[in-house]
Amino acid sequence: MIRLSDTLILALAKLRTRRVRTAITVTTAGLLFGGMIATLSVVQGTIKSVEEFSQAGFGSRYIVSGTPMPANNGLMQDKQVQARAVQINDGIIADKVKQAKKMGATYDAKSEPQPVTSYDDQEPYLNMMHPAAKQAIEEFRDKYPSAGEKEFRALALQYDAKAFYSSANIAPRDGNLIQMKDGKEEFDSRKQQELDNADSRSGRMPIGDSLVLSPDQLTNPFMAPGHKTEFEKNIIPVVLPYSIVQELLKLEPLAKTASASERVERLKYVREHAKDASIDVCYRNTASQEKIASIEVQRRVASQVKSDKNTPAPSLLYGYPATDTCGDAITTKDSRSTTEKQAMEKQQQFERLFNKNVDPAQRKLKLQVVGVAPDAPGSGAQSSSQPVAAAMDIVTLLASSSLYGQWAVPDGLFKKTANYDELRNLLQTRSLAGFAESMFQTYYAEFDSADQARAFIKEQTCSFDSSECTKRSPFMLTSFGSNSIALEDAKHAITKGFQIVASIVAAIAVIVMSGTIGRVIADGRRETAVFRAIGAKRLDIASIYSVYTLLLALRVLIFATVLGLGVAYVVDILYQKEATVQAQLAFGVDNNNAFHLFTPWSGEIVIVLGLIVITSLVAMLFPLLRNIRRNPINDMRDE
Amino acid sequence: MGGPKKVSDKKIKAFIDLFDNHAAGAVKAIRDYHLAHEKLLTAGLIKATHSGKLLLSVQDLTKSYKVGRQKVEALKGVSLDVYEGEFIALTGSSGSGKSTLLQLMGGLDKPTSGSVTVDGVVLTKMSDRKLSEFRGRTIGFVFQFFYLQPFLKLGRNLEVAGMFARSKRHDRKDRISELATAVSLADRVDHLPKELSGGQMQRAAIARALFNNPKIILADEPTGNLDSVNSQAIIELFEKIRTEFGTTIVIVTHDKEIARRADREIQLRDGVIV
């Protein structure tokens, strides 16, 4: 057989024929494969960077959270529960009438709200806030308890869960927690309403609904440097979302046009100073809230009284406490007669009898920031107007690590608070009336692999509309902390997508290349005949064209690699800074790692390079077989 | 005259010297000489080159192929012996089967029946691979349209035949300069074919055919694409080759001049020798 070096000489000569056509082919195939390489380089580079950054947050931990579903979703319309609520209510009313008579207290049974309400044609429904309704529901829950930690563990163990945690919403059983903006209470109800509205517009929940007592294992990734570890009385440690800490540090949110370095500086600043941020919170029980609210009413009445001399002035008046104390209302005037005082005392005794907390209680609390978690993905708090933002939002959504906007109270740290037991008694797990305690409880199971976690979610999650699943698996399951499962899925999807795109590109490339190779081989028929005449074997001809094809493939390969990696590199240069900031925000880290949108080498890129060679050889195969099978004489006769 | 052989040698020597230095002048001189000493020269050459050893033998060769739906019988039983050192002209009108015969003699095509034996080897029984190898070493082909590689320099073009024969690179280099000198193209070795004239290209093609030192050269209308001056030069070159290298030459031609100067003229008509 002909020597390889000689084959090379002849193949190179062949490569000089049909130059325009060859150039077009190399360009077209190069663009196709180059595009693939560019895309792969960016995608793989991004994934690699995401994985690197992931080490900072929950990273490659596969945690599934489970929220128990109530045993019955239709309690409000449940006739039995309604009937029981009415029965309880009737009993209470009868009792109240009896007691009022006995104590000489004023009581109007007709003014009592009913536990079951119905509007015109609608089905009657349970008034969940009504004490009798609450009791009826609790009885029902006791009879049909929601699934708890035991059941969750049993389910998760089927998928080889390796660790378990649980968290629970905590809130005052009676009353509310109100943020003291700038350390001050707002007593004007309209102004307070405006503040609340502004909060709800920005998607923020009231503090009372936000606090989640979390195990340290879930909050540790987000602890701020140098945070406090010992807490005085009434101080509760919290890990807060980034944008809230920024606000607490009195920093205006950066403009959407802010540069990458500005935002990274801000992130560093926020994390460094997070330990100094805190929120003053005023806890008031219902009685305390009502007393404060009554002041506004009293003042309104008083202004009317002034203009109407016939109406006697009220005998008991309250005034607001100092705004920064969270204190009880101050009695400003008490000209009640002894009879009045006795009647009021009697009334209070009567109400105490029926569980109503008539003694105002309040306490000033401080939420001390000990950590910063990234904002909930998709909250828009970290988006920028840069073109890469949309793509990075997807990456963020896919790869960030966060507590989903929770105000997490690290369990272990909270225990270091001087009056922990007292506070824990105040902030209880059960919060909203009528809802099962378990609904505010979240269980977590940690797995070794994405596959286990995915299977657990897929096979055991219960959706809201399925009443059947409550029996089988009564938990709503989602991946928690990081979307490492989604990232895994994305990788799978990318691999699949890559296969499809690669097949299409390869098919197009085969057509384009076989056009040119076929042409060159057809052009070379007579030459083949001459070569055969002067002693070339079929194998010699085949090896010349094979080397020719490989040289062509090499050109495509070089062009595609230079183009693909070049484009990816340019993308990296253009957007790396921005992406780094986005990633730092998403993962809440201020390390010095750059987020690269480029990887020079990956298994997939090697596959593309191999594909170029294979595609070229496939493109060559048919024309070549036809060529060497021909009788050389036929091609000479064509002349 | 001192005998045909002496005259012949002298003439050839003079021709070669002249040809190497000044082709057109040499050709003219030789043609004039031919006209004067035609008989002597021809007779002398036969005597000088014919060894009497059978080199190529064609037995009862037939070849038919289809053109569209029609079956064409190109050869209808041709038998022919060619001796070592002979210079044979195959002539005949178009479609007489002379080119087909030449191709079968070179093993480029398979006959429908009959056999071709070259240097004691029966070509018709050989495998494609063996045949290619044999052809590369034993037979040199020259075509009407030269078929040089347009993107290879002349030297490389000559070398191609050596590539397929796997001859050593060093030997090839020597052979290139040797042959280029023999066909008066020594100063053109680094030129591309497009920089050569038609006559030069055909001389290069002949040099390529000679590369592996074949026993026989089969040329299909080698002067068909050349003007008369260049044709003349080519004929002279073939004669020189036969004389210098003892190569047997079979030429398919319409050129009466070649036919006249050949040792034998074999004429075909409708697929048979007449």
- pLDDT greater than 50 at residue B18: no
Between A177 and B10, the higher pLDDT residue: A177
Full strand arrangement of the beta sheet holding B54-67: B70-83, B54-67, B113-118, B121-122
Question: What pLDDT sits at residue B226?
Answer: 84
Task: Please tell us whether the domain made up of B54-273 is placed in CATH 1.20.1260.10.
Answer: no
Q: Count CB atoms within 10 A of the CB of residue A200.
A: 11
- pLDDT greater than 90 at residue A236: yes
**pLDDT cut 70: percent of chain A above it:** 83
Question: What pLDDT sits at residue B215?
Answer: 92
Query: Distance between CA A579 and CA A588 in Å, rounded?
Result: 13
The verdict on B166 touching A (C-beta cutoff 8 Å) is: yes
Judged by CB atoms closer than 8 Å, whether chains meet at B128 and A9 is answered as: no
- pLDDT greater than 70 at residue A470: no
Give the pLDDT band (50/70/90) at residue B3.
very low
Question: What pLDDT sits at residue A204?
Answer: 66
Question: What pLDDT sits at residue A100?
Answer: 83
Query: Distance between CA A633 and CA B110 in Å, rounded?
Result: 10
Alpha carbon A141 to chain centroid, angstroms: 31
Question: What pLDDT sits at residue A373?
Answer: 82
Q: Which residues of A touch B143 (CB under 8 A)?
A: 530, 533, 636
Q: Which residues of A touch B129 (CB under 8 A)?
A: 537-539
Question: What pLDDT sits at residue A439?
Answer: 57
Between B36 and A401, the higher pLDDT residue: A401
CA quadruple B101, A528, B209, A638: dihedral positive or negative? Answer: positive
B230: left (phi over 0), alpha (psi -120 to 50) or beta: alpha
Instruction: Among B129, B149, B165, select the one facing A527 at the smallest CB separation.
Output: B149
> Strand, coil or helix: what is B70?
strand
Query: Distance between CA B53 and CA B69 in Å, rounded?
Result: 43
Please give, rounded to a whole number of angstroms, the shortest distance from the CA of B50 to a CA of chain A: 25
Q: Count CB atoms within 10 A of the CB of residue A562.
A: 13
Question: What pLDDT sits at residue A11?
Answer: 92
Question: What pLDDT sits at residue B44?
Answer: 35
Question: What pLDDT sits at residue B6?
Answer: 40
Query: Distance between CA A427 and CA A283 in Å, rounded?
Result: 10
CA nearest A627: which of A499, A523, A477, A515?
A523
Q: Which residues of B touch A630 (CB under 8 A)?
A: none
For A529, the closest chain B residue by CA position comes to: B108
- Residues facing A184 on adjacent strands: A181
Question: What pLDDT sits at residue A258?
Answer: 77
Question: pLDDT tens digits for B182-212?
Answer: 888 999 999 999 998 888 998 899 899 989 9
Between A160 and A171, the higher pLDDT residue: A160
Average pLDDT of chain B is: 81
For chain B, how are helix, strand and coil distributed in percent, rounded to 5? Answer: 50, 25, 30
Give the best residue of B163, B170, B194 to mutate against chain A (max A CB count within 10 A).
Answer: B163
Between A18 and A156, the higher pLDDT residue: A156
Judged by CB atoms closer than 8 Å, whether chains meet at B147 and A631 is answered as: no
- pLDDT greater than 90 at residue A367: yes
Instruction: Among A17, A530, A540, select the one facing B151 at the smallest CB separation.
Output: A17
Question: What pLDDT sits at residue A419?
Answer: 92
Tokens of A146: 């929601």
- pLDDT greater than 80 at residue A22: yes
**To which H or E segment does residue A53 belong?**
helix A19-54
Give the pLDDT band (50/70/90) at residue A554.
very high
Query: Distance between CA A288 and CA A282 in Å, rounded?
Result: 11
Judged by CB atoms closer than 8 Å, whether chains meet at A533 and B109 is answered as: no
Between A376 and A22, the higher pLDDT residue: A22
Give the best residue of A16, A22, A534 to mutate against chain B (max B CB count within 10 A).
Answer: A534
- pLDDT greater than 50 at residue B43: no
The verdict on B202 touching A (C-beta cutoff 8 Å) is: no
Judged by CB atoms closer than 8 Å, whether chains meet at A533 and B106 is answered as: yes
Question: What pLDDT sits at residue A56?
Answer: 62
Tokens of A325: 């104390």
- The answer to which of A152-161, A308-317, B240-249 has the lowest mean pLDDT is A308-317
The verdict on B152 touching A (C-beta cutoff 8 Å) is: yes
Q: Which residues of B touch A16 (CB under 8 A)?
A: 151
Which domains does chain A carry?
Answer: 4-57+486-637 (no CATH), 61-70+145-169+433-481 (3.30.70.330), 72-144 (no CATH), 171-282+364-428 (no CATH), 286-353 (no CATH)
Opening angle at CA B174, ends B173 and B179, nearest 5: 100
Give the pLDDT band (50/70/90) at residue A579.
confident
Tokens of A129: 């806030």
Judged by CB atoms closer than 8 Å, whether chains meet at A10 and B160 is answered as: yes
- pLDDT greater than 80 at residue A249: yes
- The answer to which of A83-92, A204-213, A562-571, A608-617 has the lowest mean pLDDT is A204-213
Cβ A366 vs Cβ A278: under 8 Å: yes
Question: What pLDDT sits at residue B5?
Answer: 39
Question: What pLDDT sits at residue A464?
Answer: 59
Question: What pLDDT sits at residue A178?
Answer: 87
For A14, the closest chain B residue by CA position comes to: B151
> Strand, coil or helix: what is B85?
coil
Provide the residue ranges of all domains of chain B, joining segments of one domain with +.
4-49, 54-273
CA nearest A146: which of A213, A72, A81?
A72
Question: What pLDDT sits at residue A551?
Answer: 93
Query: Distance between CA B211 and CA B224 in Å, rounded?
Result: 22
- pLDDT greater than 70 at residue A177: yes
**pLDDT cut 90: percent of chain A above it:** 16
Q: Which residues of A touch B106 (CB under 8 A)?
A: 533
Across B166-171, average pLDDT: 89
Between A7 and A131, the higher pLDDT residue: A7
Query: Distance between CA A609 and CA B109 in Å, rounded?
Result: 42
Instruction: Among B103, B133, B164, select the one facing A531 at the smallest CB separation.
Output: B164
Query: Distance between CA A509 and CA B87 in Å, rounded?
Result: 54
The verdict on B161 touching A (C-beta cutoff 8 Å) is: yes
Alpha carbon A631 to chain centroid, angstroms: 70
Question: What pLDDT sits at residue A486?
Answer: 66
Question: pLDDT tens digits for A382-422?
Answer: 444 444 455 555 555 555 566 667 788 999 999 999 999 99
Question: pLDDT tens digits for A80-115?
Answer: 888 898 999 999 888 888 888 888 778 888 888 888
- pLDDT greater than 80 at residue B250: yes
**pLDDT cut 70: percent of chain B above it:** 81
CA distances from A32 to A25, A495, A557, A598, A616 (A): 11, 18, 11, 19, 13
Average pLDDT of chain A is: 81
Q: Note the ipTM here.
A: 0.79
φ/ψ of A400, rounded to 5, equals -70, 170
Question: What pLDDT sits at residue A317?
Answer: 86
Alpha carbon A171 to chain centroid, angstroms: 23
